[in-house]
Structure 1
């Protein structure tokens, strides 16, 4: 009876959401150190929240992300960044929702990610990659520090099904066939060992809108450049840092673009930065495309190492100048050179600017950064002190200079002696504050939302999804309670069509799903045949001290690959056996 009552209560509880409140910006300086950057945080990743706030904590749910500060300082221009390649399905949903926004069409709905490693599992940067169709090269570029190159067949392949990828590193070469119905995440191991220079080159380019409304951002860069340099120069990789700038305004202003070439001399760069003034402007759009051409096409970037550009603006670009190099062309060139562009939305940037900035960053493997001014939830932008951002809640907030430091540090971390860095994200449920059923509901709502947002394929067709019982070492009562919580959360999600689960226990027995909760290509295909599902949601629960550790994966039936994953930690008091 206790188990049935628990399941009944869980089925009746209503959908909840968490509020958010951002810390207002401040102008004081703060020293960033590795200890602070590595402290365990408390931050919210609920579908509608930016941070876990007191009202959320009262409900007994927080979310944690390794490597981010628990209490971001109020100094500096507070920024948040969202990785649209990581939360790929959410990005595709954004593009579709706001498709009437003026922009250049670039269909990225189909994506294949190549991750290139050496024989020891170390990421290989600066591999040249060519994608061929019928013997003709249709896409090309360089792997970045994480060993990744992404290609988007819908941009060039029409109805063709098979592609060929050629990867070269030093004298080694590997060819492989890519099937557009096959895996979306492809790992490539090269024979050649990774070789890096003693001092890894790090190019940092600031593409800076210098019109009259950008004074605060320009002043902040002036006061924080020494802090940025100090933190990056002391990293274990000991990078050889070069700084450069492309300043831009618009036609009719004192200049359209002004270029400060890369220099390894911080003093020289600081002197140039000190002369920058925020002046001119007037109409909203500015000539970002000319700045991208100067910065990406014409500057002398390093041939190896880490190459990062930060495009900082509060205005969308002119799309009516008919430049010979569009912003999409510039993004394509950046991919060829292995440059990641991180766009930074400031001031009153509206949806027109957000849409284009996010296109640029996503295509180049960067992220969209937006300054926060205390607004709640997502922002429509377009007003002073309000930046347009429609990124869900899967973003990190901190000072702008701290975000720049983190991004550069994370890129350099891929080139240390250890295999590539992976984030350790998880949600955590705490007992004894709110009713356990309510905490469990919010945990699984958040988990399913993250699985959907982070899916590496589009879920716009609301694919049929089978929810398999969680493999568990807990009691039958607790195990069935958690599986029911997962089922309810999945059923509520608007992008998933949950299939009937009457025979799923028999299916699990038939495909011999063990305690690991892992589904490989063979078992995924068999489960898909038995259920008619295109996706499987499967996982496992083990005890971790006094907590239940729940790992859940979303699996594509056609290939057996994991397209997203999430993790929950639940105190034992949240489980029916403790009631």
Structure 2
């Protein structure tokens, strides 16, 4: 067992200064091995005041005021430990967890990836996860893809893969010999490469695509979110109003119901079916929050602006975050499922660092197809991350046979059978798949209903397209994301892992690790200012004032070199943070400047900025938070900078 005394405080987000802390280590008493991603909950009386996870070495640290606290340690397969600790300085408390003989047995994977008849305790599953060997296979890592922070790749509408079938083969293995067990042996986090397309950030392009090259798939699935109306709610002091119920009315009929996200915004649709939206009467938007109702009678379509509303309410900090993973577990996922499993807990751990007050819960739904050993297999929401980790690690790819799978059944199970929080800052559903559902009118109607149900519950769907995705599936996933205020992500060939991946229909996208993309999405979906207007440091490496870049050559070749003729562009804006107005000074002509939220959703477009000419942009109508100013340079590369909008409390 390795123990490292934590001297630095890992927690950020409140801005408050503490001179005391509790730090320590969680490990297995029987095996003397670190227990990673264990839950550490700190109570003062009956109130949960902090909740953190142990790191990969089992270490944790919590900043606290002076006082007496109760520390509760939980790990799957082990008996909980409760200990009272008096905090007068930097206290150290180590915890040796004893295995719980009454813990449920988990089925273990056999070498071919299926479940064998013998069983292990949760603690044995957890310990074996720690002992997974690190891959020695040659893969192309992000820093090898490009020397730049991101690599820009042209999007090509294609039904075939980009660079062919490439596998990560361990030394000594022959091509074709690597089964699920081989992938399990090499799988670790931060290996898969991916891209993201947020169609809210490229709204006009999405409309063109859905009417052009993707039109046949729109007709196939009979799903096309259209008639967009965006609502932004904030308190009188500018704090975003989270989890308010927002309903779009046409005359007296409710046509769409959703909830505001962590930025106080809600996306309403006049229709999610493949039909032309028709306003046949009066539109209005009704807002319900804490039992009080208000109405927006003059409704503005998104093309003409946002629908702003300020509510006279007291500030309330909503801390619940629900995260569900819905995973295609059919045989075709065998090339990537173990790598995806390796990502999940690490992504949660990194995302939780923005605040020790966030109360995360985790759930899982794995699905196959009718006629397989199971159609769906679920774990309901649980606060103990290691419980979710143990469930995930016992799953394997198998079954299937034809291309379509029971994706709609798995999605239905997650949306309607899991116990989503009644009140939450965020509800996020990661849908990981490599094939569409079966086609037909009944499936299409079910998918339409599921979009409406997810939106009504405030569940944001984030699809992750694996190898095997075709254009029809890509369209459907992007439509699901739009209808539920989510975003679309997809694996790429740059890692050398798995079979080939198609390129999405778009102009350009940036290649990153899947880990980095999902952490950024998680943070952008869960951050928000506290009641004192403090905004957490999200550690996303987005520039604060000056943006400078030397773009790489536009290529899908992983052996990228710097273009010697590339531009070096700098520009500035100030003040930052701002309480409303910012002044922008570009050193080049800018055709259009975009103001977006942290997820990339466009909120405002400023046309025709001239070189060396100052322009003022008013952000005062937006809620307190982090915003991006972005523009597309002449080489079709996005340049972005971060603006913090913060009022005095």
TM range (shorter): 0.5 to 0.7
Distance in 2, matches of 1:400 and 1:129, equals 32
Could you tell me which of 173, 176, 190 is aligned with 2:311? 190
Distance in 1, matches of 2:527 and 2:543, equals 15
Change in Cα spacing, 1:568 to 1:384, as seen in structure 2 (3 Å) is closer
**Contact 1:550–1:567, Cα closer than 8 Å, also in 2:** no
Could you tell me which of 252, 256, 267 is aligned with 2:375? 256
Q: Does 1:386 align with 2:507?
A: no
**Contact 1:127–1:143, Cα closer than 8 Å, also in 2:** yes
SS of the equivalent of 1:103 reads helix
Change in Cα spacing, 1:117 to 1:552, as seen in structure 2 (3 Å) is closer
Matched with 2:512 is: 398
Change in Cα spacing, 1:75 to 1:411, as seen in structure 2 (3 Å) is closer
**Contact 2:364–2:380, Cα closer than 8 Å, also in 1:** yes
Distance in 1, matches of 2:617 and 2:253, equals 41
Change in Cα spacing, 1:155 to 1:296, as seen in structure 2 (3 Å) is closer
**Contact 1:122–1:418, Cα closer than 8 Å, also in 2:** no
Distance in 1, matches of 2:136 and 2:440, equals 40
Alpha-carbon distance, 1:350 to partner = 0.8
Distance in 1, matches of 2:366 and 2:446, equals 18
Matched with 1:8 is: none
Unaligned runs of 5+ residues in structure 2 are: 1-133, 138-142, 157-187, 552-564, 571-582, 595-604, 619-627, 635-649
Could you tell me which of 191, 212, 215 is aligned with 1:99? 215
- CA deviation digits over 1:386-435, x for unaligned, max 9? 23411321x4432223322221112121254447999779975779xxxx
Distance in 2, matches of 1:173 and 1:414, equals 23
Q: Does 1:266 align with 2:395?
A: no
Unaligned runs of 5+ residues in structure 1 are: 1-25, 30-35, 50-72, 377-382, 432-437, 445-470, 491-516, 519-534, 544-548, 554-563, 571-579
Alpha-carbon distance, 1:295 to partner = 0.4
Q: Does 1:87 align with 2:198?
A: no
Q: Does 1:305 align with 2:425?
A: yes
**Contact 1:117–1:190, Cα closer than 8 Å, also in 2:** yes
Change in Cα spacing, 1:351 to 1:234, as seen in structure 2 (3 Å) is same
Distance in 2, matches of 1:212 and 1:473, equals 54
Distance in 2, matches of 1:45 and 1:78, equals 13
Matches within 5 A, 1:444-463: none
**Contact 2:155–2:506, Cα closer than 8 Å, also in 1:** no
Could you tell me which of 230, 236, 247 is aligned with 1:130? 247
**Contact 1:537–1:552, Cα closer than 8 Å, also in 2:** no
Matched with 2:185 is: none
Distance in 2, matches of 1:308 and 1:358, equals 15
Change in Cα spacing, 1:193 to 1:298, as seen in structure 2 (3 Å) is same
Distance in 2, matches of 1:415 and 1:552, equals 22
Matched with 1:219 is: 338
**Contact 2:321–2:426, Cα closer than 8 Å, also in 1:** yes
SS of the equivalent of 2:322 reads strand
SS of the equivalent of 2:493 reads coil
Q: Does 1:539 align with 2:539?
A: no
Matched with 1:291 is: 410
**Contact 2:226–2:272, Cα closer than 8 Å, also in 1:** no
Alpha-carbon distance, 1:231 to partner = 1.7
What's the TM-score, normalizing by structure 2? 0.55
Q: Does 1:413 align with 2:527?
A: yes
Alpha-carbon distance, 1:184 to partner = 3.3
- CA deviation digits over 1:460-509, x for unaligned, max 9? xxxxxxxxxxx9999xxx9xxx66x85xxx9xxxxxxxxxxxxxxxxxxx
Distance in 2, matches of 1:28 and 1:114, equals 50
**Contact 2:256–2:452, Cα closer than 8 Å, also in 1:** no
> Which structure dedicates a bigger proportion of its chain to strand?
2
Change in Cα spacing, 1:552 to 1:318, as seen in structure 2 (3 Å) is farther
- CA deviation digits over 1:48-77, x for unaligned, max 9? 69xxxxxxxxxxxxxxxxxxxxxxx99411
Change in Cα spacing, 1:246 to 1:321, as seen in structure 2 (3 Å) is farther
Change in Cα spacing, 1:28 to 1:131, as seen in structure 2 (3 Å) is farther
- CA deviation digits over 1:298-334, x for unaligned, max 9? 2110122211000001111112372496222111111
Count how many residue pairs are aligned between Structure 1 and Structure 2: 406
**Contact 1:552–1:565, Cα closer than 8 Å, also in 2:** no
